Chains A and B, each alone.
Chain A
Amino acid sequence: GAGVSQSPSNKVTEKGKDVELRCDPISGHTALYWYRQSLGQGLEFLIYFQGNSAPDKSGLPSDRFSAERTGGSVSTLTIQRTQQEDSAVYLCASSLTLGERNEQYFGPGTRLTVT
């Protein structure tokens, strides 16, 4: 079946502009996660959604970052007033539920470059 998809695959934006990154999880997966991968920094947790529960936003680095998940499916990560330090690969993942046993399936990522 189809995996997790993300768009765009690459995004170049000017400092100060807003960007929106999209994630389509695997159909039927109720949990959705966003991570940021910076060179040499590993994966940094940003936010997760589980069904209709309130999302865990504790990993968002600043109030310029926000995310929504509409209809329990597609998610959008928004970065306002982008800064050069926001440049990274943004990865989305989904899992069947939020249960600890369930592995996460990752999308190919969106590479964001802020100039």
Chain B
Amino acid sequence: AQSVAQPEDQVNVAEGNPLTVKCTYSVSGNPYLFWYVQYPNRGLQFLLKYITGDNLVKGSYGFEAEFNKSQTSFHLKKPSALVSDSALYFCAVRATYGNNRLAFGKGNQVVVIP
């Protein structure tokens, strides 16, 4: 079964500095990978996805993620963090065949310090 690991519970970064949120995955075959963000008292919002093609994927709000097959990683990045980026970030993976579940990581709390 597919699974996701987000190794850091919380990521603290100063406003204006680069932000990285780490994600590694395990899946049979090729993965479909997603990042979601959850603001306080809100549902999850889709940020970006990797399906195929270019390993660097650009998404909403200036975020991007890089698919690395050899390292089974899909780290989320933003060149310059904003205070408004403070939220809970979830990485998710789905197999290209087999069951249709989307497996989520436990989430990373990002705190951007003014």
Q: Which residues of A contact B (CB under 8 A)?
A: 4, 33, 35, 40-43, 45, 48, 50, 56, 59, 91, 93, 98, 100-101, 103-109
Of A35, A41, A91, A105, which one neighbours B46 at CB under 8 angstroms?
A: A105
Q: How far is the CB of B4 from chain A (nearest CB, A)?
A: 9
Interface residue stretch chosen among B14-22, B74-82, B104-112: B104-112
B69 within 8 A of A: no
A26 to B33, CA, bound (A): 22
Nearest CB to that of A103 among chain B residues? Answer: B46
Given known A41-B106, A43-B104, A45-B101, contact A104–B43 (CB-CB < 8 A):
no
The listed residue (A40, A42, A101) touching B90 by CB distance below 8 A is: A42
Q: List 25 A-B contacts (CB under 8 A).
A: A4-B43, A33-B102, A41-B106, A42-B106, A43-B90, A43-B104, A43-B107, A45-B101, A45-B103, A48-B100, A50-B100, A56-B99, A56-B100, A100-B95, A100-B100, A101-B49, A101-B51, A103-B46, A104-B46, A104-B102, A106-B36, A106-B44, A107-B43, A108-B43, A109-B43
Report A-chain residues with C-beta under 8 Å of the C-beta of B90: 42-43
- Nearest A residue (CB) for B30: A100
New A-B pairs, 6, CB < 8 Å, besides A41-B106, A50-B100, A100-B51: A43-B107, A56-B101, A100-B94, A100-B100, A103-B34, A108-B43
- Give the docked Cα–Cα distance between A41 and B94 (Å): 19
A62 CB to closest chain B CB, in angstroms? 19
CA distance A107 to B100 in the complex (A): 20
Q: With CB as the reference atom, state the residue of chain B lying closest to A91.
A: B43
